[in-house]
Structure 1
């Protein structure tokens, strides 16, 4: 067992929360019981994850996507009421870490996705150094790389082909980082991998020759939270469980 404040303090230091300008609050978003012995982790603080955590008798939930975001409607109605009501009724703590969880050099989403796919990050690029750049283990085609990513993540990627060059330098940033594509091109990538694609990226790929792979927002961000939860279990002797709530995005 550990105190909720000790857990938040440890996570704040581990993930270097103070260094980031983010889209919402990082840390303890909903206060529950003081003592934590069982932790459930997941990608998003959805009602489905909250209900699964209740069934697992969790004292706390750790997520990448929390409840509160800059510019959202502040009223507690609809889906927000439902989620908060279930957390408060069962006295469950909710911890959320967004950009700090993406960026951590070992436990973060980018680091863990690179490890899973066999990529070694050699440098960083983009706003707040969130993007990673490295070399592929061996040169390959876009079809070969997309097949490897799809089979590993269990989701067929969306492709915006470049000029058909052999791919040697890969840039990646998990989640909704399609806006980093131009920075990845400038950094010297042959291909950029992220979770989502928007309309402009298909044109940039065609016009610059750099390929773009959208491998799924949820699919690319399942791994950092698991790595952090394993670290917490080792550090504090608590039980942890990852629950994956499927998401087509």
Structure 2
């Protein structure tokens, strides 16, 4: 068993928590058992994930999307009360890392998303340098890349094609809800940009700039950081670790 404080301190240093301006608190969000032995990782601290962690006998839950976000009024009622009550009743620590987990060069969502699609980043772009960019080992068309995304992520993406038939050599990506990074990706020299979500302006920008845009699904693009980090913690501290997938169509 390992003291919770040792794990939290290690994570805060590893993920460089202090350098990020984020939408909610990173680190320990709900205090549970002082000693950690059985760790469950997941994408979002939903009630379904917490219930699964309880059934698994976990003392600590590591997630990308925690419980508290900018704009929350501080009241512990309804769905939030139910989630927190479950954690407290079973003595489960909740550790949540949002942008720091997106950005980490080895265990982060962007790094693992790129690895799954066969890319390594050679540069960064966008606000807080969260976006990754690299060169594809072989040029693909937008249609072929969308098919690869569907096959490797298990979810049909939304493709807003730019210039028809354009070889996609420079590939940029940022997981989750990073559609606002599209213009930064274009400025960085990308031929295509991949993220989780699409909003109304991106289709027009793709047509007008010739740079393709692929929305892979918020959850589908962010399934890889938490289990990678959980496996690393298990190896470093001698913990039991299980990643639990809770499906999400978003």
Interval containing the TM-score (normalised by the shorter chain): over 0.9
- Give the match for residue 168 of structure 2: 167
State the alpha-carbon separation in 2 of the partners of residues 177 and 137 from structure 1: 24
Partner of 2:4: 4
1:49 Cα deviation from its structure 2 partner: 0.2
Shift of 1:73: 2.8
Alignment: residue pair count: 249
1:37-186 alignment, distance < 5 Å: 37-164=37-164, 165-186=166-187
SS of the residue aligned with 2:28? Answer: strand
CA deviation map 1:13-50 (0-9, x unaligned): 11111111111000000000111100000000000000
Measure how far apart 1:52 and its partner are. Answer: 0.2
- In the other structure, the counterpart of 1:222 is 223
* Moved beyond 2 Å, runs of 4+: none
The 1-side partners of 2:5 and 2:199 are apart by 40
What CA distance in whole angstroms lies between the structure 1 residues aligned with 2:151 and 2:73? Answer: 39
How large is the Cα RMSD of the aligned pairs?
0.6
SS at match of 1:136: strand
Name the residue aligned to 1:245. Answer: 246
Unaligned stretches of 5+ residues in structure 2: none
Partners of 2:138 and 2:63 lie apart in 1 by: 34
How far residue 137 of structure 1 moved from its aligned partner, in angstroms, is: 1.3
State the alpha-carbon separation in 2 of the partners of residues 230 and 43 from structure 1.
14
Please give the alpha-carbon distance, in whole angstroms, between the structure 2 residues aligned to 1:74 and 1:204: 38
Residue 34 of structure 2 is matched in structure 1 by: 34
Partner Cα separation in structure 2 for residue 215 and residue 223 of structure 1: 13
Shift of residue 223, structure 1, vs aligned partner: 0.6
Corresponding residue SS for 2:122 = strand
State the Cα deviation string for residues 48-70 of structure 1 (Å, max 9, x = none): 00000000000000000000001
Cα separation, 2, equivalents of 1:147 and 1:48: 31
**Deviation of the 1:206 alpha carbon:** 1.0
2:51 is aligned with 1:19: no
For 2:236 and 2:172, locate their aligned partners in 1 and report how far apart those are by CA, in whole Å. Answer: 32
TM-score, normalised by the number of residues in structure 2: 0.99
* Rounded Cα–Cα distance in structure 2 between residues aligned with 1:167 and 1:243: 34
Q: String of CA shifts for 1:149-182, please: whole Å, max 9, x gaps.
A: 1100000000111011111110000000000000
